[in-house]
Structure 1
Amino acid sequence: MKTYTEEIGDKLNILLEKNYDAEKGYTTASNNAKSAALTTFFERKAIQRKEFADQLKIELISVNQEPTTGGSIAGAAHRTWMNTIAWFSSDTDEAMLEEAMRGEKASIEDYNEVLNASISLPLSIQKVLSGQKKTIVNDTLTIKRLEDLA
């Protein structure tokens, strides 16, 4: 049976891995975007997700858990898919925005799952996760506006 801190570590490492994946995905999207505004948006999102990962690493260390060091196989497959979209799609920006929205919605679900888990999280971790989730939710509104312009 896992200890309390191991359970917290597992949950935070799942989010950490997904933030690594998101950072790499947004970097891929910024490299494939046609519009300068969208390139800037995706670059900002990649930086933001790196910052989220850094915050999660600090929280993991604070509960004496080892942060994971890389993304997931599913994330690598998704980046390959985004490159394929960029290669074959005539409307790359719109397709990448749709993928970004899908990814952000999945992130919100992941954060909700951890925040609503039966395990009681330390207040500092709750604050970090709630703040990150709020930022992601707000960015879905930005993505919707960008989709309307694309």
Structure 2
Amino acid sequence: MRTTLEKARQKTNENNIDVLQAIIEKNYDARKGYRKAMMDIQDPELKSFMQQQALVRSSFTTAIDQEIRNLGETPIENGSVTATLHRTWIDIKSRIADNADDIIIEEIIRGEKAKVKEYKGALKNNLLAPETHNLLQSQLKSIKNTLKEVKQL
């Protein structure tokens, strides 16, 4: 028979896994989005920025992947179908626009704002282990900085 403490730890562990699986999926999507933007964008400086952000998101997924494995679970390995459809929509939109770079930047801002909201929700609404909380807090800070940078572009 398990103690109350053991049950609480198991519940926290399961909750951490659920939160991390959702977040890793979004980071796969972000990484793919930045890679796609890097291919489509014309401005060399923006292209470099997109490449850098794709690498940052790769590091996010690696860290979350390891955290999920440390919790005894196998991480998901792909992004969402919704994000794939969204990238296709951006493709169509940017092909018919006068300035595709502007459309891509607008969509990146929108995506980063959504990620800030998701991370904040995960941190606020869940009982997370300190390691998980610190990991997500650090990534949230990085996403906020990226959002500031993109807005200045």
SS at match of 1:40: helix
Corresponding residue for residue 123 of structure 1:
130
- Whose radius of gyration is greater, 1 or 2? 2
Q: Is the 8 A contact 1:19 1:53 kept in 2?
A: yes
Which residue of the partner structure matches residue 27 of structure 1?
Answer: 35
Contact 1:26 1:46 in 2 (8 A): yes
Match of 2:144 among 137, 141, 144: 137
Q: Which residue of 109, 115, 119 corresponds with 1:111?
A: 119
User: What residue number does 2:5 align with?
Assistant: none
Q: Aligned residue for 2:88?
A: 80
| 1:97 and 1:143 in contact (8 A); partners too | yes
Percent identical among aligned pairs is: 31
Task: For 1:32, give the aligned amino acid.
Answer: D
Per-residue deviation, 1:103: 0.2
Separation in 2, partners of 1:55, 1:29 = 23
1:47 offset after TM fit, Å?
A: 0.9
In 2, Cα distance between equivalents of 1:135 and 1:4: 25
Question: Does residue 105 of structure 2 align to residue 97 of structure 1?
Answer: yes
Provide, for residues 74-113 of structure 1, a one-character-per-residue CA deviation record: whole Å limited to 9, x for no partner. 1101111121123111111111110000000000011011
- TM-score when normalising by structure 1: 0.91
SS in 1 for 2:137: helix
Aligned equivalents of 2:65, 2:35: Cα separation in 1: 20
Give the conservation status (yes or no) of the 8 Å contact 2:16–2:132. Answer: no
Unaligned 5+ segments in structure 2 are 1-9
CA RMSD of aligned residues (A): 1.2
Distance in 2 of aligned mates of 1:97 and 1:145 = 10
Question: Which ranges in structure 1 are unaligned for 5 or more consecutive residues?
Answer: none
Is 1:61–1:67's contact at 8 Å kept on the other side of the alignment? yes
